[in-house]
């Protein structure tokens, strides 16, 4: 079994507990205005034109081409993962499958998860939640932690800013939670889009009945997606946004604390 990935990051510390290896799958059905991994969106390897200075629009810099993504076997990915078992054991870490959207390649993901479990490795999946329940049902008992993105509660806004409805995403989260899966909601704070008081209050209220979800992760805005889009000459639909100040972040944390949640900032 082969799949397409665009990176394997060693010694990751923001993608779940402990020291982890994060495998980035290619392919995502969403089209978020602020996408932080634009090179992970297409479910195929792609050749892009990049400029070493990071600005594709700067005509003074000569462009070079770069291939993003590689076709890899389950065995070769496992070989990489197993090299760092000692660090997972010492730190309470493990393996995280991220992307793009790992659920876009369900069979490849299942084989990797099964082998991780055969090797007693802790597993996490970083997902947008936009996948069929049939696929979640096949994998949920192989996953120790879902890092589950929640973006916008208002469906019209969700469609506008991500290209898809949030209905399936919210339904899948509710089902996973009711089946006892450990779910950590991760909320990207996009200035004026997802970080409004109204949206964060609505997320807190949606989570309230899910009694096994007591912690959320807030992801402050950063310019990574903007910089990468410039590098790869892609349109960054969110435009130029300002990073939140410490006080602004504290107000957003308080919204969740007032509903009884533990809050972590960053991954
Ligand atoms: S879900 Fe993630 S990878 Fe997909 S478009 Fe949105 S930010 Fe990008």
Note the pLDDT tens digit of each residue in 90-109. Answer: 999 999 999 999 999 999 99
Q: If you measure from the C-alpha of residue 253 to the centroid of ligand 1, how many angstroms do you get, rounded to a whole number?
A: 23
Question: What pLDDT shows up at residue 49?
Answer: 79
Q: Other C-beta atoms within 10 Å of 258: how many? A: 10
* 8 Å CB contact between 179 and 213: no
| 129 close to ligand 1 (CB < 6 Angstrom) | no
* 8 Å CB contact between 12 and 22: yes
The radius of gyration computed from the CA coordinates of the chain, to the nearest angstrom, equals 18
Question: What pLDDT shows up at residue 227?
Answer: 85
- The per-residue pLDDT of the chain, averaged, comes to 94
pLDDT above 90: residue 235: no
| 194 close to ligand 1 (CB < 6 Angstrom) | no
Q: If you measure from the C-alpha of residue 196 to the centroid of ligand 1, how many angstroms do you get, rounded to a whole number?
A: 20
State if pTM tops 0.85.
yes
Question: What are the chain's domains?
Answer: 2-265 (3.20.20.70)
pLDDT above 80: residue 168: yes
Question: What pLDDT shows up at residue 230?
Answer: 80
Question: What pLDDT shows up at residue 56?
Answer: 61
* 8 Å CB contact between 191 and 197: no
Of the candidate ranges 17-26, 45-54, 135-144, the one whose mean pLDDT is the lowest: 45-54
| 127 close to ligand 1 (CB < 6 Angstrom) | no
Using alpha carbons, list the distances in angstroms from residue 234 to 35, 192, 210, 224, 231: 11, 22, 38, 13, 8
């Amino acid at each position: 079994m082969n799949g397409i990935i665009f990176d394997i990051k060693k010694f990751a510390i923001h993608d779940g507990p402990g020291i982890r290896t994060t495998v980035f799958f290619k392919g995502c059905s969403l089209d978020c205005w602020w996408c932080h991994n634009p090179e992970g969106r297409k479910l195929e390897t792609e050749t892009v034109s990049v400029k070493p200075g990071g600005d594709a629009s700067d005509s003074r810099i000569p462009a070079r081409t770069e291939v993003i993504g590689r076709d890899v076997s389950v065995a070769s990915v496992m070989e990489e993962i197993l090299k760092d078992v000692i660090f997972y054991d010492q730190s309470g870490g493990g393996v995280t499958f991220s992307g793009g959207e790992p659920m876009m390649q369900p069979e490849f993901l299942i084989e990797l998860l099964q082998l991780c479990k055969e090797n007693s490795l802790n597993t996490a999946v970083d997902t947008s939640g936009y996948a069929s329940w049939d696929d979640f049902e096949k994998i949920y008992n192989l996953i120790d932690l879902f890092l589950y993105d929640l973006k916008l509660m208002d469906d019209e806004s969700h469609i506008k800013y991500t290209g898809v409805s949030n209905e399936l995403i919210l339904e899948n989260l509710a089902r996973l939670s009711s089946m006892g899966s450990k779910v950590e909601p991760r909320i990207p704070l996009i200035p004026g889009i997802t970080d409004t008081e109204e949206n964060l209050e609505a997320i807190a209220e949606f989570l309230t009945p899910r009694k096994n979800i007591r912690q959320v992760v807030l992801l402050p805005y950063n310019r990574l997606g903007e910089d990468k889009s410039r590098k790869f000459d892609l349109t960054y639909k969110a435009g130029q946004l300002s990073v939140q100040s410490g006080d602004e972040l504290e107000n957003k944390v308080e919204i969740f604390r007032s509903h009884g949640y533990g809050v972590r900032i960053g991954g």
